[in-house]
Amino acid sequence: MSNTQDLFTTALIGTRRREVKPAGDNTPLGQAISRFQPQNKAELLLGIVAINSIFRAAGGGVPGTDWVVPSGHPADQSPTVAPEAVQRLKQILEGKFQNILPEWLELLQQCQRRVPEEFLPAVLEFGLQHLPVQRVLSREMIGERGKYLAQLNPNWGYVLGMIDESVWQFGSKAQRLHYLRQVRKFDPQKATEMLTAVWTNEAPEVRVEFLDTLSIGLNIGDEPFLESALDDKDERVQYNAASMLGRLPNSALVARMHARLDPILSLEQVPVRGFGGSASSPRPTPSGEALKPEKLPNWSNGLRSALGESGKTSEEPESVQASGRIGDTSPSNPTSGWASSRPGSAPSAPFRPSTNTPPATRAAVMVKLPENLDQNMKRDGVRAIPSRIPSDRTSEKHQWLRYMVAFVPPEYWRRKFDLNFPDLIEAAKAGNAGPSLIGGWQTAARYFQDEDMIEALLDTVINPVSSFGVFGGYQIDVRSLIASLSPQRRESFLQQSFTKRAPLAFDRQGLIMLECCTHSWSRDFSLFICQQIGASLTMTNVNQIWSRRRVASGGALTDTTWSWWSWFGLYIAPEAAEQIESMLSPLRTIVPVFSEVLLMFIELLRFRSEMRKELGL
């Protein structure tokens, strides 16, 4: 323990995690340290530091480390790229479309070539600062000389997967977290065993972050460790452990959630308000509580009198509004109550439904909310999770329900009620806990990657443009749901949605959806999107359609405008570049304000297309 670096490391990570041992040699320094008798580990460390300082001041020096000069590198056998591709790489590293370097490296991997020697230091250093490059760069791309350089510079060791195992014992929290993630990628079981060995010695905030690493390669073998973490005293650790277990369809926690939900759920037939039969059925509010007549706003009283006590108010569900009902002024219903009350028309008698008409009903998922939060529920992480919308005043019981629903595979609901997902969502709307059920379903759909339910949920908040992203006061995470779809399903769904939303397909909401497409787009999808955007640019309210990336005053384009277009150009299929150029070039004269950005965008597409040709792809 006389080595200065060892002393410094121990002081950083603390004597609790690293044992302090006096030097055992027979040198004057070792003998002086061995005669020191401290009361605890901290005193021992400070005493060793003090004795070292005195020894150094007296001219004794400090033991150092001998450096070994590495031997030369073997010659590279794999071929490098053509001169045109070398020039292209130089342009990228100098700042021209720098964000396409990961794509250039991926293409390099496909054609089985390596980075030119003169650019190895620049590429390795660039990867150190940019994670997308670091994830793509491999041993094969850098060749033998690149491996040699990476061994000389510890900062470049990431490309070789070189991680010093001592980091797990002596490193900082960030270093240990990075090391654990790397081990988890290649050997999940070993990472879990490492966590088990140190778990009780770690601080709560460290346990929370370490537990998150289990999301990498999560499997049923992690269940025993995660079940034990449910007993952790820290609620954050307990919640994270429950979240992990909830993603395992065959875990005991999911079975326990099934057992809790089964007795409190039922599918019932409830009257549709505004049709024959009783209209006194309470309409569920976002919190699931019935909206009683006395709670209706004052302005509704006159409307209720005009329509009759059984009449339809403007608060009716959308499914009722779509039919020929009271207040429908469409040509298909010229005798509606609204038409008869126009100025100058003769008054008509209030509408009253026939008592002989059988009541219209619809399916509704009804929930008997749990009365109390027992200890077992608390252990499984059930808790109140408030909505991110300030106006959402959902009760705690509904928040418990939302949590439990999130950990049940969507297929459970389809089997239990024998309904497809669109019908199931409609039944939830008609019931007494719609927002809570739908809030939990969106989490479950992502956890269990159920694309049918994801699309059904997205349909509830995307296709009705006026209610984008919101259902019953609960925010639907549109971005996460779209990102959870496979690329093929994502493109198909968005293409249908953009078609329905035309001509305002690329308003602010449309751009949010498009930003979720962080995959390589197919040729057909690339052409479709460019065609739609081209059409939107010619509209008179173009500044409002592109409100997320506004055009600055005076016609100059802001940096954020180009940042969106440059991002957009990263995912377009390069083979469609020529068609897109011919499609968008005429818009430079039609919409002069976008002339500059369109020119840069077309240049980016050309750059990517030529880059592929130079690499022989």
Q: What is the pLDDT of residues 587-611, one digit of tens each?
A: 888 877 778 888 888 889 999 999 9
Q: What are the extents of the domains in the chain?
A: 4-57, 98-160, 166-248, 257-290+359-475, 486-617
Q: Is the pLDDT of residue 537 over 90?
A: no
Our measurement of the distance from residue 64's CA atom to the centroid of its chain's CA atoms, rounded to an integer in Å, reads: 48
Categorize the per-residue pLDDT at 281 as very low, low, confident or very high, splitting at 50, 70 and 90.
Answer: very low
* Weakest mean pLDDT among 14-23, 279-288, 602-611: 279-288
**Which whole number is the average pLDDT over 178-194?**
87
pLDDT at 470: 59
* Weakest mean pLDDT among 165-174, 226-235, 554-563: 554-563
Could you give the CA distance from residue 443 to residue 445 in angstroms, rounded to a whole number?
5
Our measurement of the distance from residue 340's CA atom to the centroid of its chain's CA atoms, rounded to an integer in Å, reads: 52
Could you give the CA distance from residue 289 to residue 284 in angstroms, rounded to a whole number?
6
**Which whole number is the average pLDDT over 162-172?**
73
pLDDT at 285: 42
**Which whole number is the average pLDDT over 108-124?**
90
CA-based nearest residue to 352, from 320, 305, 311:
311
pLDDT at 211: 92
Q: In terms of pLDDT, which residue wins out, 22 or 41?
A: 41
**Which whole number is the average pLDDT over 479-493?**
92
Model-level pTM greater than 0.75? no
Q: 351-373, pLDDT tens digit by residue? A: 455 555 566 888 999 999 888 88
CA-based nearest residue to 201, from 235, 164, 165, 176:
176
Could you give the CA distance from residue 400 to residue 410 in angstroms, rounded to a whole number?
18
* Weakest mean pLDDT among 296-310, 375-389, 463-477, 547-561: 296-310
CA-based nearest residue to 288, from 388, 438, 63:
438
CA-based nearest residue to 511, from 558, 470, 568:
568
**Which whole number is the average pLDDT over 188-200?**
90
Give the H/E segment covering residue 267.
strand 265-271
Q: In terms of pLDDT, which residue wins out, 266 or 47?
A: 266
Burial-class residue 278 by CB neighbours within 10 Å (0-12, 13-18, 19+).
Answer: exposed
Q: Is the pLDDT of residue 275 over 60?
A: no
Cα dist from 393 to 405, 422, 474, whole Å = 19, 26, 10
Q: Specify which residues 60 forms β-bridges with.
A: none
Q: 421-455, pLDDT tens digit by residue? A: 999 999 998 898 888 898 899 889 998 989 999 99
Token pair of 450, please? 């159920």
Token pair of 228, please? 């034990």
Burial-class residue 518 by CB neighbours within 10 Å (0-12, 13-18, 19+).
Answer: exposed
**Which whole number is the average pLDDT over 504-526?**
81
Q: Is the pLDDT of residue 486 over 90?
A: yes
Could you give the CA distance from residue 525 to residue 521 in angstroms, rounded to a whole number?
6
Categorize the per-residue pLDDT at 288 as very low, low, confident or very high, splitting at 50, 70 and 90.
Answer: very low
Q: Is the pLDDT of residue 333 over 80?
A: no
Coil, helix or strand at residue 513: helix
pLDDT at 586: 86
CA-based nearest residue to 274, from 316, 232, 233:
316
**Which whole number is the average pLDDT over 92-119?**
90
